[in-house]
Amino acid sequence: MTGDLTTYLILGLIFAAVVMAVLAVAPLFGRKVDLAARLSTTPTSTAAAAGGQSLRTDHTSSPWARLVAEVERRGISLEDSKGAILADQLMLAGYSQPYAVRAFVLIRIILTLGLPAIAYLVINITDTVLTPMKLYMVLGGVAAFGLYYPNVRIKSKAEDRKTEILNGFPDALDLMLVCVEAGLGIDACFARVGQEIIDLHPRLSELFATVSLELRAGRPRAEALKNMAKRSGVAEIASFCTLVIQSDKLGASIGQALRVYALEMREGRRMRAEEKAAKLPVLLSIPLVMFLLPSMIGVLLLPAVISMQSMDFGG
């Protein structure tokens, strides 16, 4: 009787975990915010193309925001003791929404509770016999994986995002230089360049879109640029923002500053490419030693082994 009750309890937990996972994944297929609509050339066309969305309403109408609000309405707290640090990490990974921390905590809870329940169900279905100590170790390991994997995933996405932004920034600087020399102001450059690179560098385009919208909303240019540097997490973009702010304060030529900085960024990208190319021989030696060398040794020694066996049989 006790065994049946335990089985029903586990099945109930698994059902609850699956339902929460489905509710968490379903909003991913919802409507995406069109960056091209947010990056138009005039404020009126921006409001029309974006369907009335703004920096204030984009996040509150998201399915993730409604899901988090619904879970908290059920009495489940999704607050984290290190919410500020977690918010900075999520922002560097590209999740700057107000509900990002609570959604992250929700996903972590689902994985921490759902994965051990699924593992226990698999053990029961396959009739695997484990000692209590091994069972606790397996369930504890799966729970630890569900607890720490989201953090590892967020750090990995942050690094990928930084690399993508850094590699695309020289192209954006060249376009900004062309726009400035054509007579556009620096505020209009962010909107125009963001619109042009939306297909080639979408993450960088999103940064430029946010800066353009903040400037149109009346935020000071220095503050908008500092926010851009913070959201990117890239030292080169922080230096660029400082360069623009200082040039604006001192009255220096922004075109000349962009030309020099774009040249430095292109040189840095070329050096990073050469560094990766120099690492290739070392990286290729690992599969060569693991796979090719044993095969060559086998081919060279096999005739000698056959000859020795023939001599033994002949003797």
> Is residue 233 classed as helix, strand or coil in its secondary structure?
coil
End-to-end CA distance of the chain: 73
Cβ atoms 214, 55 nearer than 8 A: yes
Query: 30: burial class by Cβ within 10 Å (0-12, 13-18, 19+)?
Result: exposed
Q: Give pLDDT tens digits for 206-262.
A: 888 888 898 888 888 888 888 888 888 888 888 888 888 888 788 777 888 888 888
CA distance 108 to 20: 11
Cβ atoms 80, 105 nearer than 8 A: yes
Task: Kindly tell me if the per-residue pLDDT of 202 is higher than 80.
Answer: yes
Read off the pLDDT of each residue in 179-190 and give the average, rounded to a whole number.
85
Q: What does the pLDDT read at residue 3?
A: 54
Rounded to two decimals, the pTM is: 0.66
Task: Kindly tell me if the per-residue pLDDT of 300 is higher than 50.
Answer: yes
Six token digits for residue 280: 């290739």
Instruction: Round the average pLDDT of the chain to a whole number and report it.
Output: 78
**Cα-trace Rg, the chain:** 28
Q: Classify 220 in phi/psi space as left (phi over 0), alpha (psi -120 to 50) or beta.
A: beta
Task: Kindly tell me if the per-residue pLDDT of 136 is higher than 60.
Answer: yes
DSSP string, 37-70: HHS-SSHHHHHHHTTT--TTTTTTTSHHHHHHHH
Share of the chain above pLDDT 70, in %: 79
Ranges assigned E (strand) in 3-83 = none
DSSP string, 114-155: HHHHHHHHHHHHTT----HHHHHHHHHHHHHHHHHHHHHHHH
Q: What does the pLDDT read at residue 59?
A: 52
Of residues 28 and 19, the one with the higher pLDDT is: 19
